[in-house]
Structures are given as structure tokens and as C-alpha cells.
Amino acid sequence: MNTTIRTPGPSDAGALEQADKEAAVQAARHRHHPAIKALGALSEVSDQVPLSLVCGSVILGGALAGQDHVARTGMRMMAAHLLANSVKRLIKDRFRRTRPVEMIKRQSYRCEPGESQGGHETSFPSGHTAGAVAVAAVVARDLPQMAVPALGVAALVSGIQVPRGKHYPADVAAGAVLGLLSALVVRRLWDRAVRD
């Protein structure tokens, strides 16, 4: 299969963008493998509603068990997730990038500012990655004994997005940065509120 998909018109990709596209095409060759499909299905836990339910469960579980620190962690998880998701949505609503699987199927690609015309144009940034990283960063800081599994799940969720053809490597990197920044902002605002 030809791995070079040319961007039509004035938005002809630079070297980094072309490398990003080619890496996505190479990885997405494996998207039909049962392991990739299974891991991709598992990664849906970091979609908006399932991840909100995870955060809510931590809040409720901590409250019912009388472990206030766990309930507070759940609240910070939820806040970081909501912040990451809100910023991600703002970007996706104002920037079009064709998802890799669509680029492969249609042999066409867009990457430009503008209102997206559907889910096939909302590749940047990876929302699954942003949410997973935001929540994992909160867990890792608040509950150090859970850092390795939380960060491991976030890495798995992030890493599988490229071979399943949902995102380019740059989308995943941007989502990870967004998730980390969201967790940091929530921590700073929370600490400030507690001090005041």
C-alpha cells in the first residue's frame, strides 16, 4: 500500500506533518487484528461518559467507605477530566483534521482551521488520551500506590489510538499534554481554594 497520501491544495503538509501521517498509516495497517480491536474496545473506558462514571464511582466509593481523601481524589479526577474534555471540545469544534482511517479509505486529508463537519474530521487532539492522562495524573499524585496501574492504563489507552486508526501520533501527544495541564490546573486551583 502507498503510505504517502498527499494533502491537496495550499495545505500541503510539511515534513513533520507528512511523517505524522505516514506513521499513522503504517500503524493503522494492524487495525483489523483481534488484539488491536480488543484493546481499542477496552480503551473506550476513557470516553467522556464512561470516564465520568469511573470518577463518580471513586467519589461515591470514598464517601461510602468514610475515606474522605479517596472521595476528594475522585472529585479532582472528575474536575481534571471535565476540564480536559471541555478544552478538547473547543479545539475540535474549531479545527478540522481527517481521522487516519478516513484518510486511508478515501485517500483524502484535511488539516486546517474551521468548523468540523462530523466525527471523521475531529482527529486533533485525542480526547481519549486527554481524559485518561488527566485522570491518571491526579490518581498518581493523590494515591501514589495506584500510580503504576493508573499511568499504565493511560499509556495503553493513548498508545492504542494510533494502531486502531483513530488518531495520528501528534494527536495523541497533544492529548497527553492537555491531560497533564488539566490535572496541574485542577491541583493548583484546588490547593488555592483550600488555603483561602
- Output the 3-class SS for 50-76: HHHHHHHHHHHHHHHCCCHHHHHHHHH
Q: Could you report the per-residue pLDDT of 33-88, keeping only the tens digit for each?
A: 999 999 999 999 999 999 999 999 999 999 999 999 999 999 999 999 999 999 99
Phi–psi pair at 53, nearest 5 degrees: -65, -40
Please, are residues 132 and 39 in contact by the beta-carbon 8 Å criterion? no
Is the residue at 8 inside a domain? no
* pLDDT value of residue 9: 42
pLDDT band at 196 (very low <50, low <70, confident <90, very high): low
Residue labelled with grid coordinates 461518559: 49
Which regions of the chain does DSSP assign to beta strands (E)?
Answer: 95-97, 111-113
Is the residue at 187 inside a domain? yes
Is the residue at 56 inside a domain? yes
* pLDDT value of residue 6: 46
Model confidence, pTM: 0.88
Is the residue at 25 inside a domain? no
* pLDDT value of residue 194: 76
**Greater pLDDT, 3 or 109:** 109
Among the residue ranges 11-20, 39-48, 158-167, the one predicted with the least confidence is 11-20
Distance set, CA 23 to CA 92, 170, 174 (Å): 22, 10, 16
Is the model's pLDDT at 4 over the cut of 60?
A: no
Q: Half-sphere exposure (CA, 13 Å, Cβ side) for 31?
A: 18
Query: How far, in whole angstroms, is CA 160 from its chain's centroid?
Result: 11
Q: Could you report the per-residue pLDDT of 108-157, keeping only the tens digit for each?
A: 898 999 887 777 889 999 999 999 999 999 999 999 999 999 999 999 99
Parent domain of 119: 31-195
Count how many domains the chain has.
Answer: 1
Average pLDDT, integer, range 14-39: 93
Is the residue at 2 inside a domain? no
Q: Half-sphere exposure (CA, 13 Å, Cβ side) for 27?
A: 20
* pLDDT value of residue 1: 40
